[in-house]
Structure 1
Amino acid sequence: MTTDDHEADKTLRGKAEAQLQASPRPAPIQTPETLLHELQVHQIELEHQNEELRRAMLDLENERTRYQQLFDFAPIGYLTLDPSGIIEEINQTCCGMLGLQRQRLTGRRLALFVTPEYRGHLSAMLKRTFEALDRRSTELMLMRPDGSAFWAQLEGHAIDQDGRPGGRCRVAVMDISVQKQAQQDIMQLNQTLEQRVEQRSAKVRELSEELERFTYDVATDLQGPLGHILSFSDMLAKHATAQDPEVQRYADHIRRSGQRMEVLTTALLAFSRASRMRMRLSPIPMDQVLKDVRRKLAPDLTDCQAVVTSDPLPVVQADSGAMQLVLRQLLDNALKFTRGQPEPRIHVFTQDLPREVVIAVRDNGVGFNMRYRDRLFSVFQRLHSERDYEGAGVGLATVRRVMLRLGGRVWAEGRMNEGATFYLALPKHPGEID
């Protein structure tokens, strides 16, 4: 007997002694007085014990009723299953989900209320639940006797009080029909949006191709009239007399404007050809590409006395002609803007990023203001005076266009009078080329 039991007995005996002393004594009987006293005390103790038992039973009944209400009217369904999937207990919420009363569900297999195509999901979940110590869940379709079905998420747990896999599985059942419908609506919306995006993209590609064809045709058609303008301006200058300097000045102005326009149309044609050139991806050793470009630029390098150095360059997945065009444009650009330096230097190096290979060209030329870096790669946009640096403002735009077609990107960094660095980033695993 525990200490608490001794204390309870003392309390009961004390109560019994007090009640016995307060009550009138019965008539003497033919038994010893002490025996009579003990019998009366034990009788009163039993009455008190019975009263406390009644109160405890009432409290237990109230607790059981409260638990049953919480169990029955929980916002989600609860049930218990044995290892074969037979329903042992089920709450009222789950009964409402399945459309049957409790007595028609207990003792039956839960699989009978699962649509045939998802019964394998239930069997697999129960098997894993009874074998493991963690919770398992699955999504399946439950069906009612009237043939209607709904999406449900089942989460099972089969742990006993000692933390070991038990012989019963407690399962929570949640109706996720609304979530599934929302997912389906989102998927349909995404599909519709993808179709619209594809249609718009196709329209943009069509307009872009039409614009490129128009640009190419216009630039080609302008070459004839420009040739005539230059020829006639030369003839006009030859026929102008020394006594007519005004005509000579007009002729010179027409010739310079025609030559400038010829440069622009030639650059526009080159940009258009770069946009339409066919590309085939293959492993390209950039060391060999740089060597070929330096050989073609040898006269310019000699004239500028520029020192070109390079680190070992990687092999990239790209088009050989496209990479030669891009690298030549960047070296041309570096030569142009280092021309006024006492010791022009150009360095080609590489960087290895997780998903990209970067080729960079650094020079010690005039640099540029980073506030205007977005204009560098736009057609006919210039950051320096045309009088100081020749060009049409198309070279870097061509670089950007080619890099986009290769699935890469291009950017630049620079500071005024401290040089510039142009970066080409190519994906290590490129997709299809447009």
Structure 2
Amino acid sequence: QDLSQDALPPEKMQQLLHELELQNEELRRTQHELECSRARYFSLYDLAPIGYLTLNEEGLILEANLTIATQLGMPRGALLKQPLTRFILPGDQDIYYLQRKQCLESDAPQAWEMRMMSVDGYTFWAYLQATPQQNGEHWITLNNITKRKQAEEALAQKRQQLEDINRSLETRISAAVVEMHTKDDMLIQQGRLAAMGEMISNIAHQWRQPLNNLGLIVQDLRLSYELGEMTVEEMDQSVAKAMGVILYMSSTIDDFRNFFSYEKEPRGFTVNQVVSRALNFVSPALKCSGISVELDEQPDISALGNPNEYLQALLNILNNAKDVLIECKTDDPLISIRIFRDNDRSIVTIRDNGGGIKEDILPKIFDPYFTTKGLGNGTGIGLYMSKAIIEKNMAGRLSAYNAGGGAEFRIEI
């Protein structure tokens, strides 16, 4: 009677059975999803491109995925309970112990690189990241970085090769620069010797007329003495004339001596004065060749540098113009010189009317040993040395071009 009283009505019983069936269905569905999720997790874990493993406090492998098993050359099951140190090269064991100790003490993730070896002897570089867990275990990811290391080593070798090449190039360049400077010094020395030859020629022109005058004075003195026509006043006049000629020749000696004295330190000088000195040197030779000179100058044009080197550059250009005019046999040969200032630069232009320079050789006229004169008539050094003096020694510019029926050289300082 009691049981009949406690029994559920059929309708209630049916409802409970239905609810139980729904719960079972939900449980089965959840279980299926869990199994699927677990399968996906293990697929991702096992087939990941990097190795995963778990170490216990003693450093033994508790879990490992298929990737790391493949890298170490052992079945996954055989890896379990194996010490990771078995697969670390002896030379890198200290690295592993140090990093693992730091991971334990700091309770913070650590990352490092070391060399490992599979059971079949294959050695590879590995990049490991260890994350400590509260239970004393370590989760470790392992990535094979052998190709990266090989690339780094190859890059380092290439870099070393480049450094070796650079050092070799620096040595060769330094040697080439020294050789070039030596050649430049030799060229300049040859140019100076050539300039000395020009100076000797100029001395001959400068002294020929005064020596002739001095000879006439001496002859006149002797003749007047023999004829008994020499008075004291005439004697004094003749002596004064002779002394004047001697003093003139002495002054030219000073000019020539100063020409060959070189100052190391640059100083300010007046361009007009240096041009005047240059014309004094070459004017006798120009007159002998029937060459006229026109000078158009602004007063007191100044520049900074070595005035004697500047003079030598001018003389090279003037002598070159003289030789061209003589060779071309130009009617009414003329050298025109202008001295002026353009902004903050002093300008000297020297132009002849000798027909100009052929366009195909114009770019070569400043090259060493280049000359258009016949064999034995030119060294090809003068214009090269002039350009070196103006541009290298005085930070100026020397250029040449054709203008006004001839060649014009422009010196800017």
Task: Tell me the TM-score normalized by structure 1.
Answer: 0.49
Displacement of 1:178 in angstroms is 0.9
Displacement of 1:88 in angstroms is 1.4
Cα distance in 1 for residues equivalent to 2:342 and 2:128: 65
Cα distance in 2 for residues equivalent to 1:56 and 1:70: 21
Partner of 1:87: 61
User: Which residues in structure 2 correspond to 1:126-165 (within 5 Å)?
Assistant: 126-159=100-133
Partner of 1:65: 39
Q: Which runs of 5+ in 2 are unaligned?
A: 211-251, 270-302, 308-340, 350-388, 397-413
Cα distance in 1 for residues equivalent to 2:203 and 2:96: 91
CA shift in 2, pair 1:41/1:146, >3 Å:
same
The letter for the 1-side match of 2:51 is G
Say if 2:86 is the partner of 1:124: no
CA shift in 2, pair 1:234/1:64, >3 Å:
same
Deviations 1:257-279 (A, max 9, x none): x98xx68x958xx6xxxxxxxxx
Displacement of 1:197 in angstroms is 2.0
Displacement of 1:190 in angstroms is 1.4
CA shift in 2, pair 1:216/1:121, >3 Å:
same
1:56 to 11, 21, 30: 30
Counting aligned pairs with the same residue, the percent is 24
Deviations 1:300-344 (A, max 9, x none): 9xxxxxxxxxxxxxxxxxxxxxxxxxxxxxxx94999xxxxxxxx
Say if 2:171 is the partner of 1:209: no
Deviations 1:113-144 (A, max 9, x none): 11111111111222222233543111111110
Partner of 2:144: 175
Aligned-residue Cα RMSD (Å) equals 4.0
Displacement of 1:155 in angstroms is 1.1
Partner of 1:198: 167
Partner of 2:293: none
The letter for the 2-side match of 1:235 is A
Cα distance in 2 for residues equivalent to 1:109 and 1:30: 66
Cα distance in 2 for residues equivalent to 1:30 and 1:215: 130
Deviations 1:76-95 (A, max 9, x none): 11112223322111111111
Partner of 2:5: 32
Cα pair 1:152 1:174 within 8 Å, conserved: yes
CA shift in 2, pair 1:30/1:191, >3 Å:
closer
Q: Which runs of 5+ in 1 are unaligned?
A: 1-27, 161-165, 242-254, 271-292, 301-331, 337-365, 370-382, 399-434
Aligned length: 246
Runs (4 or more) in structure 1 with deviation over 6 Å come to 366-369
Task: Tell me the TM-score normalized by structure 2.
Answer: 0.51
Displacement of 1:145 in angstroms is 0.6
Partner of 1:392: 390
Say if 2:86 is the partner of 1:112: yes
The letter for the 2-side match of 1:94 is I
CA shift in 2, pair 1:220/1:140, >3 Å:
same
Cα distance in 2 for residues equivalent to 1:35 and 1:232: 147
* SS of the residue 1:122 aligns to: helix
Cα distance in 2 for residues equivalent to 1:223 and 1:210: 20
